[in-house]
Amino acid sequence: MPFPRRLLIPDEQLVLDLRPHPIALVMPAVLTIVAFVAAAWLSANTTVDWLWWALFLLVVLLYPVPKLIAWLTSNFAVTSDRVIHRQGFIAKRSMEIPLEAINDVRFEQGILDRIVGAGTLVISSASEFGRNSFDNIRNPEGVQMVIYEQGESNKKRMYQGSAGGQGSPPPPPTAPSTTTELERLAKLRAEGVLSEEEFQAQKAKILREG
């Protein structure tokens, strides 16, 4: 199921929404086939055939079914602010790591992982979750790059926001009124700073501009 957009905070953008790679279902599928073949063979060659099918059902309910439900209900999401991992249908589990808390992102791939394009993503952070591994991530190298890019963008937004909050540029000063300027000139003339000629010249200029 897709990541529920109602969980995004205002102005948060969903960048990646990934379901686990189908390779996560390989072992459950193999176990189901092997258990089915074994149950069919044993039921055909023994007198208590119902017992083997009951054991087959028990095996399927204990391993393949939970793995299938986990695959269907898992989301690994990268937003403009967080890395989010959600899992579960009835009992849900959720983990959120703020991008600014992430210290390192690495990925691990075996030979089979490289062939199918899957891998394990390892995220180290300063959050309460510390170091976490996320298995069966599609294209882990690409996801690593996206997390780094969004982390840098998030830092720039935070820096610009804090810089703006520390002090916005002051409004341009209003021009002094004509009366105020004339009073200032009169004071300068009275103090002997301006001569009569200078006073008259400045007064005429202010009156023209006013």
In a domain, 188, yes or no: yes
Burial of 76 (0-12, 13-18, 19+ CB in 10 A): buried
Quick check: is 201 in a domain? yes
Mean pLDDT for all residues in the chain: 84
Task: Kindly state whether residue 182 falls inside one of the protein's structural domains.
Answer: yes
Q: How far is residue 117's CA from residue 60's CA, in Å, rounded to a whole number?
A: 27
Specify if 22 maps to a domain. Answer: no
Put simply, whether the predicted model's pTM sits higher than 0.85 gets the answer: no
Asked, for residue 114, whether it belongs to a domain, the answer is no
The pair phi, psi for residue 118, each rounded to 5°, is: -130, 175
DSSP states of the chain: -PPPGGGSPTT--EEEEEPPPGGGGHHHHHHHHHHHHHHHHHHHHSS-HHHHHHHHHHHHHHTHHHHHHHHHH-EEEEESSEEEEEE-SSS-EEEEEEGGGEEEEEEE--HHHHHHTEEEEEEEESSTT-EEEEEEEESHHHHHHHHHHHHHHHHHHHHHHHHHHH-PPPPPPPPPPHHHHHHHHHHHHHTTSS-HHHHHHHHHHHHHH-
Give the tens place of pLDDT for each residue, 139-148: 999 999 999 9
Please indicate, yes or no, if residue 165 is contained in any of the structural domains. no
Q: Look at residue 121 and tell me whether its pLDDT is greater than 90.
A: yes
- pLDDT tens for 36-72 read 999 999 998 888 889 999 999 999 999 999 999 989 9
- Residue 5 banded pLDDT, cuts 50, 70, 90: confident
- Give the pLDDT confidence score for residue 7 in this predicted structure: 82
**Domain tally for the chain?**
1
Q: Please, is 39 exposed, middle or buried when counting C-beta atoms within 10 Å of its C-beta (0-12, 13-18, 19+)?
A: buried
Instruction: Compute the distance between CA of residue 197 and CA of residue 119 in angstroms, rounded to an integer.
Output: 87
pLDDT (tens digit per residue) in 6-32: 888 888 899 989 999 999 999 999 999
Q: Is residue 191 part of a domain?
A: yes
Instruction: Give domain status of residue 189, yes or no.
Output: yes
pLDDT at residue 34, rounded to an integer: 96
Find the domain containing 190 and state its range: 178-209
Residue type, 161: G
